Structure formats: C-alpha cells, structure tokens
Chain A
C-alpha cells in the first residue's frame, strides 16, 4: 500500500510541475487561489474519520471544525477564483497575437465567443 501511494505521490508531483509551469504571470493570482481551493480536499479526511469513528465529544468537535475549515477552503476558494476569472473573460474576444502565453490549450481552438456567451448568462 505504501509503495503504491508513494508512486502516486511522486507521479502527481511531476504532473503538477508539468501542468502549472505553462501558466502565464497574468493568471498567477487565480492559479494560486484555484490550487488553494483544491487542497481543501483534505475535508475528505474529516468526513471519513467522523463517518467511521468519531467517538467522544472532543473528537466530534475537532472533526466538525475540520470539516468546516475544509469546506470554507473548498467553497470559498473556488468561488473567489471564479469571480477573478470572470473578469478576464468579460471583454469582447481578445485576439491573442500579442499574448505571451502559449495559447494552445489542450482542447484546441480558443473560441472565446461561445464561452463568453455562456459566462455572461450567469448572474
């Protein structure tokens, strides 16, 4: 079990490096807050522990606080990131010739018009 977990650990570290090193400076703040939301997944630890044991009032209290903290981290993190990124999108389709970032996203054509329509629909 340990060996499997360590394998996942090391490989995930390299994936993280590979994915993140392509992000342009401009998006560093949203990136920081987006990854920040992702580590809130530690809330799962709280859920599993309270779900399977959670004996005694102190354990229960600690785990409820842990779940609360984790949820704040996840929900707050994703919402804040979404708000920030919305601001980058609202503008009319920016042609990206001057953009220093490698625009080629994995899903091919950067088609902001369609995406923009989607986003503005949201309140």
Chain B
C-alpha cells in the first residue's frame, strides 16, 4: 500500500494542478519582462515555474529509469551552467542560438522515440490509444520543425562565432528549388506515416530532409540578418514544443510552447519591420551577396574623399560640444569597447557635455544587444534612447560619435532607391553638426554596402580598433 501522502502527491489531478501552476508562473514571469525594474524577478518566477513542472513530471506514478533520468539532467546541467556563466555579453547572440537549437533537437528526438515506441504511431501509448492520428500529426510536426530549428540554429551559431564565414553561402539560383524539394519531401514522408506506413526509414528520412532544409535555409543568410533568423527559429522551437505537448497531452508544454511561438513571431515581425524587409525576403536569403558587388561599384562611383582624424582632434571636438550622441553598433561589441565608452562619456559629462546614446532596433546582432552591453558597463537606462525618440535630436547635436555602427547610419536608406537597404529606418546621424566615425577600416559592413556617411564633408574617420580609439580619446581628454 502506498502511504496517503504519496498517493495524494502522485494523483493525476494533483500533477495536473502543478502543471497549471507552472504555466501560470511562466505567464506571470514573462509579463514582468515589460520593465527593467521587474524583469529579474519575472525571469526567476518563470524559472520557478519550470522547476515545478519538472518536479511534477518526476512525481508521476510509475515513472522509472531513474538512473538515466539523472544522467541526462546531470549532463545537461554540467554543460549548460558553465556555458551560461562564462559566456561574454558580446557572445550572447550565438549562445542564445545554441540554447535554442538544443531545444529544437530535444523536440525532434522525443518525437522520433515516440515513433519507435508506438511502432510508427500504429497504436499510441497510454490515454491516446484509439486516437493516434492527431498524435502522429503533431508529433511529426514537432520532429520536422525541431530538426529544422536544431540545424538552422547551429549554422547561425557557427556564423556568429565566425566558425563559418558570415557572408551568405548559397547554391545560387537552384537554392529555392532545392529548399522547396526538401520541404516537400519532409511533408510527403510525414503524410505517408500518418496514412499508415510504419517503416522507421520514413521518419529518419523526414528528419534528415528537415535537417538539410535547416542548413540550406540559414547558410545563405548574411550575418546582418542573423537576429531575425534566431528569433524566427526561437518561434519554431516554441511551436515544436507546443506540438509535442499536444501529442503527449501535456498542458504545460502546450502553453509554454505557444507563448514562445507567439513572442518569437512578434519579435521577428518587429525586427523585420525595423529593417524594412519582409520575413520571406530575409528567409529567401542571399542578402549581401549581391550587395558586395554593388558595394564595389558604389565605391568607384564616390567622388568625395574620406577625411581621417586623430584621437587628440576628436577629443577637442567632443570636449567643446554641448550635446554628443553616441551611436553604438556591432563594432563596439566586437572590440569589447562598452566599458571604455562608459569611461569616455563619464569624462565628457564631467565637462558638462550632455551625452545620449542612440540605439537602433537592429544595432548589433540581436535586438537590444547594445542595451545589454551598455547596461553591463553601467550606462544609465535613461540615457539609452530608441530611434524614434532620438532622431529629432540630431540637428541639435554638435557631435555624433559613431562607434562601429554602419548600415543603421547609412543615409542611402533615405536617398538612394537603388540601395539594397533603401527604405530601412535609420538614425539620422548625417543631420548632426559634425560626425566622428570610429571604424577599423573602410570595409563595408555585414550587408556589404558602401556608407555615404563616410564621404560627408562633416564626417571625420578615426581608424582603428574601437576600444583602442575610445581609450585614446579619453586619455587625450584628460590632457586637455
């Protein structure tokens, strides 16, 4: 006989209630993320919800294989915790891509084992007996989408980590055809399984087709579009999770997966909007592939010359300004310059200069990437201005200091209908009284497009590593 407490804890309704508690905590926790004051707590509340969901699952009556469960959990913790603790803030986008990928991989593996356990969904386990069709449909959806997400995220990780080249890798024109064929193959195999074929080769084929699709879809996408891709794959993994939840009849999985699916979709749409591109256009890829050649042509067309400056001159210019706007970009992240930038702005503020930061929605490699880095360097939250808020300020600004940002400042987006980024909302840096651009070289940015801003007579270029340049300016300021 089981003791009363144990039988109560293992009661199916009690476990169901725990699942409800856990998804309520997810929703409450996520709603805390709407403001910086409540965000930390919100995240911890969501984590508590997750702990409850896992505990509830382990309470389920009749669960076995404890050794293997412990092994899986321990391995995951041993890999995940150090990775999360040690990753640098600048490497955050690829870390998120990697975590997203393994989630998708888990969904795909779970579906595969479900297929094996049930003899190809011939008669689904447990309470699903007698209604296997929808279980098969949702499970196969999770398998395919999870596999796409796993491989796509790994490619995104490889590109951001610079294991793979950031430029688009494409088969050229047949690419779309190949992608479509792979997609059709995965669907056809899934349909065959649902229709009653139980050969395991079918689901392996579907997983492989989806894996190739994940690779081929992300490989042609340039580094500049990676934030959108990661967000989209995040939404995919969410949907795969929700589908797994339907197949396993688990409400916590359904709710959690759908929240992620919805939020990922919103984020993806917001980012695509900020870049003035449609999501299909981004996924079709190749952006920047044509841009490189266009950029080369554009370079030849430019009549203007580039004026370079020195750290000492830049320091003088900044010291006697009334208002300075700092425009950070991926270059600042790469150079780990956020702390140096904070020192510089502190020195300027000590001289009575009003300093603000202009944050483009897609600056960096992830939405809000710059905010995270600058917050790490203790830049006050209220100094970070979003694009619409800061754009009217530029004409009143004496010096705009562009640190490793490129495409988001390119006036061609407003003036040149032939430019690949025409129509993208940009920061109106060119309207300020003068501009100092910190840049490593004249190489075009990730999108591979020449930036007219650099040829503006008001613009002075300070070449070199962003951190070294910022430090040099700060030192020169101290000597003034």
Partner of A78, one of B46, B116, B372: B46
- Assess the A41–B266 pair: CB atoms within 8 A: no
**Residues of A close to B371: CB separation below 8 A:** 25-27, 29, 88
Whether A84 touches B34, Cβ cut-off 8 Å, given contacts A51-B60, A78-B47, is no
- Assess the B69–A73 pair: CB atoms within 8 A: no
Given the complex of chains A and B, what is the CA–CA distance between A14 and B258 in angstroms?
9
**Residues of A close to B100: CB separation below 8 A:** 36, 39, 73
Within 8 A of A (CB), among B331-382: 359, 361, 366-369, 371-372, 375-376, 378, 380-382
- Assess the B361–A85 pair: CB atoms within 8 A: no
- Assess the A37–B382 pair: CB atoms within 8 A: no
- Assess the A63–B234 pair: CB atoms within 8 A: no
Partner of B257, one of A41, A49, A72: A41
Partner of A69, one of B23, B106, B230: B106
Tell me the minimal C-beta distance from B19 to chain A in angstroms.
9
- Assess the B256–A38 pair: CB atoms within 8 A: yes
Whether A90 touches B378, Cβ cut-off 8 Å, given contacts A23-B33, A66-B110, is yes
**Residues of A close to B176: CB separation below 8 A:** none
**Residues of A close to B65: CB separation below 8 A:** 50-51, 54, 60
Chain A CB within 8 A of B152 CB: no
**Residues of A close to B238: CB separation below 8 A:** 35, 38-39
Q: Which of B89-97, B216-224, B293-301, B310-318 contacts A (4 or more CB under 8 A)?
A: B89-97
Chain A CB within 8 A of B455 CB: no
Partner of B260, one of A9, A16, A112: A16
Chain A CB within 8 A of B214 CB: no
Q: Which DSSP category, helix, strand, loop or mixed, fits chain B's interface?
A: helix
- Assess the B234–A36 pair: CB atoms within 8 A: yes
Which of B26, B68, B75, B109 has the largest count of A CB atoms less than 10 A from its CB? B109
- Assess the B234–A32 pair: CB atoms within 8 A: yes
Tell me the minimal C-beta distance from A27 to chain B in angstroms.
6
Whether A12 touches B259, Cβ cut-off 8 Å, given contacts A37-B99, A73-B103, is yes
Partner of B102, one of A32, A55, A70, A115: A70
Given the complex of chains A and B, what is the CA–CA distance between A98 and B68 in angstroms?
52
- Assess the B381–A88 pair: CB atoms within 8 A: yes
**Residues of A close to B264: CB separation below 8 A:** 32, 35
Within 8 A of B (CB), among A75-105: 75-91, 94-103, 105
Given the complex of chains A and B, what is the CA–CA distance between A13 and B252 in angstroms?
13
- Assess the B367–A32 pair: CB atoms within 8 A: yes
Q: Ordered nearest first, which 9 A-B pairs have the shortest CB separation? A: A71-B76, A67-B72, A16-B262, A51-B63, A76-B80, A28-B367, A12-B258, A79-B84, A28-B368
Name A residues whose Cβ lies closer than 8 Å to a Cβ of B: 1-2, 5-6, 8-9, 12-17, 19-56, 58-60, 62-91, 94-103, 105-107, 110-112, 115, 119
Q: Would you mind naming 19 contact pairs between A and B with Cβ atoms under 8 Å apart?
A: A12-B23, A26-B381, A28-B270, A37-B50, A39-B103, A39-B257, A44-B253, A46-B106, A52-B63, A59-B113, A67-B72, A68-B76, A71-B75, A73-B102, A76-B95, A80-B92, A94-B36, A94-B382, A106-B28
